[in-house]
Structure 1
Amino acid sequence: MNNIASQSDEIIRAASNSLRAQKTVPIGMKARALRKAHFWGKVRNAALAVGAVLIGAGIVGAVIDGIGFWGVMITGIAGAAAAFVLMRYPDMPMPTTESLKHSDLETLAGKTEIWLEAQQPLLPAPAVKIMQDIGVRLDQLAPQLSTLNENDPAAREVRKLVGEHLPELVNGYKRIPASLKQQDNKGKTPEEQLVSGLKLIDREIETVTGQIARGELDKLAIRDRYLELRYDGAGDQ
């Protein structure tokens, strides 16, 4: 009976995750901006390719005194094919845990938001709600990051928070078997630990944003002791 109940729980959670996957929503304006920039980059490349095809056809026509009906047809097909391919490919690269650690400051917030969006189907609803709040914090942080040098200690601390602590917290939760995510561990279930950890990171991002805005870079230090929650059983079931 226990096995049957366990299997039923797994099916319910899988169905819930599937429904959440269909309802994944964007997190933050910086993610939208990166996607828009990628789209318009493809539009530019497609326009250049079509232009090159037309110029090539014009040069050939000048050399041979016209390209005729079939030449026009071939030019049209070639231009349409080039535009079609370049508007479909390449896909926008999906940020990874590793790439977030080395992202430039200008795109760090947006890439983190895109990475968080991809995690939504794998996380409980309360965590997804906090991730939306983190997206707002990252939008607020992004303009402040533009004031930092890539090699500033402050920049390294921000990358540590956003590029290491946040992904490690989420990945630690994902590694736990679904059957154990509702079990109590040191007073909290892994889901509750995940939510608590995300709240801490949300507040830390707010603090960092304020410190950078006020120029208090000497005070900027990610407080690891507050982030130890991610080790407090979240990945040690």
Structure 2
Amino acid sequence: MTETSDQIMTNAGRALKDARYNRSIGQRSESLKRGHFMKKLGRAAIATIAVLVGASVVGGILNGIGFWGVMISAGLIAGGIWAAMKFPKMKIPTPETLIQSDLKTLAGKTEIWLETQRPALPAPAANIINTIGTQLDMLSPQLQKLDEAEPAAYEVRKLMGEHLPELISGYRAIPASMRTKASDGGKSPDEQLVSGLSLIEKEISEVTRQIAKGDIDNLSIRGRYLEMKYDKTGEAQEP
């Protein structure tokens, strides 16, 4: 009985964690995913209409399609809906595509990428990822004020597509058994990750403020702390 109860609690905890990590961290990523879903729904509707029109035409010619005609049409509709809703899968952004993304979708794509990384991060870091999502939602409208060719646009892309991914990728490259261990009295990789993400969250907030004030010419991402690299022992290295 005890083992059954423990298993139930374990499964419930796992389900709760999965539900938590399946949630979007921001409105921009939710909007992109909703748009992708609506396109699939539209293709499913087109496939259904095409089968119904085809069945009507054949029925008019043959004076009815009969039982098997109805069954075949139903099968074609079901298959069309399944294929339309299954494919194509939504493309997950990569650091390479983030740094080249247009400013209108940059925040949403960054949120989607962060959502794929979140399950592999410790709980304190995952909580900061959620906060970064909120900051990206606030930044997104401000990015509409930037010209794609402006140096400020490059700085923002560098923050999203270089500093942020390097921090998380560097952490994930460290063996899990070493992530909680501090080296030479310094911070552990877990602690360094949390510190780095906190700095990036503040940097996004500062960028949002600068653009809102129209201080675009002076916008410069401070990368001294953000450009940290992790070696195999988990210690931060200067660039």
Q: Which residue of 2 aligns with 1:202?
A: 201
Distance of 1:185 and 1:91 partners within structure 2: 42
Q: Which residue of 1 aligns with 2:214?
A: 215
After superposition, where does 1:47-196 map in structure 2 within 5 Å? 47-185=45-183, 187-196=186-195
1:44 counterpart letter in structure 2: G
Distance of 1:107 and 1:70 partners within structure 2: 48
SS in 1 for 2:132: helix
Q: Which residue of 2 aligns with 1:40?
A: 38
Distance of 1:142 and 1:161 partners within structure 2: 14
1:93 counterpart letter in structure 2: K
1:193 counterpart letter in structure 2: Q
User: Conserved in 2, the CA contact under 8 Å of 1:124 and 1:191?
Assistant: yes
Distance of 1:93 and 1:52 partners within structure 2: 27
Q: Which residue of 2 aligns with 1:7?
A: none
Q: Which runs of 5+ in 1 are unaligned?
A: 1-15
Residues 72 and 235 (structure 1), Cα distance of their counterparts in 2 relative to 1, 3 Å cut: farther
Distance of 1:169 and 1:19 partners within structure 2: 27
1:194 counterpart letter in structure 2: L
Q: Which residue of 2 aligns with 1:3?
A: none
Bigger relative contact order (CA 8 A; separation at least 6): 1
Give the share of equivalent positions with the same residue, in percent: 53
Residues 152 and 222 (structure 1), Cα distance of their counterparts in 2 relative to 1, 3 Å cut: same
Distance of 2:227 and 2:20 partners within structure 1: 31
Distance of 2:191 and 2:101 partners within structure 1: 30
- TM-score between both structures, scaled by the size of structure 2: 0.83
Following superposition, the deviation at residue 200 of structure 1 comes to 0.7
- TM-score between both structures, scaled by the size of structure 1: 0.84
Q: Which runs of 5+ in 2 are unaligned?
A: 1-12
SS in 2 for 1:135: helix
1:32 counterpart letter in structure 2: E
Residues 169 and 21 (structure 1), Cα distance of their counterparts in 2 relative to 1, 3 Å cut: farther
Distance of 2:180 and 2:14 partners within structure 1: 15
Superposed CA deviations along residues 41-79 of structure 1, whole A, max 9, x for unmatched, are 111010011111122222333344443333233222211
User: Conserved in 1, the CA contact under 8 Å of 2:171 and 2:230?
Assistant: no
Higher helix share: 1
Following superposition, the deviation at residue 103 of structure 1 comes to 2.1
